Amino acid sequence: MTREEFRANLYQTYVSNGMNDHALIQEYIYIAESFVFDKKKYTKIDEENLIKKFEN
């Protein structure tokens, strides 16, 4: 599966499950893509930064 296919499938899954905040969906997809393809870990600090980004 390519990155593009992965992103498209994940986006479709989020939308079909009722998520409607497209900016947040894109952030979640970025996190998943980084984990799957780049083996990057998602840390507590990353989570805190994401929360701060979407608080306002």
Q: What is the pLDDT of residue 55?
A: 84
Rounded Cα gap, residues 16 and 51, in angstroms: 23
Both tokens assigned to 36: 């799957």
pLDDT of residue 29: 94
Residue 4 has what pLDDT?
Answer: 95
How do residues 1-56 score in pLDDT, each as one tens digit? 999 999 999 999 999 999 999 999 999 999 999 989 989 888 889 889 888 888 86
Q: What is the pLDDT of residue 14?
A: 96
Helices 3-16 and 22-38: crossing angle in degrees, nearest 10, is 140
In this prediction, residue 8 carries a pLDDT of 96
